[in-house]
Structure 1
Amino acid sequence: MSTTERLRWFKSSYSAGEGDNCVEVAVRPGAVHVRDSKDKGIRPLVVTPSAWAAFTTLAASS
């Protein structure tokens, strides 16, 4: 089992009804993992919690 399979992934409540066209996020201490829900085999993007907070704040204000 890979590390990403052990992560607890979640999708936004704003995801489409089928939930297969969105981004999934897994939060760990010191890292936020982000992946495409349609292609879970690709290595996820990993950013710091502060970078993720800045991104989501900017996205919410757009």
Structure 2
Amino acid sequence: MRTSEDATPGWTLDQLMAAYPGLDPAMPHPGRSHAPVPGKPDAVYRMGMDADRLATIYLQLADQSCYE
């Protein structure tokens, strides 16, 4: 998967911070963060980090409360 800002697994934390200036890699959980989806206020990208590299990207509802 590729975000609208072209983020893909393998991107560094520095690349993500440049593309998503408000991104906090420790929120909501250490190693995971949410970034807004442009034009879709009800959606976010959930990004998982492995060390300092992007490992996973999921598209989910902004108020997602159940995962499985």
TM-score bracket for the superposition, by shorter chain length: 0.3 to 0.5
Q: Which has the higher Rg, Structure 1 or Structure 2?
A: 1
TM-score normalised according to structure 1 size: 0.45
By percentage of residues, which structure has more helix? 1
By percentage of residues, which structure has more strand? 2
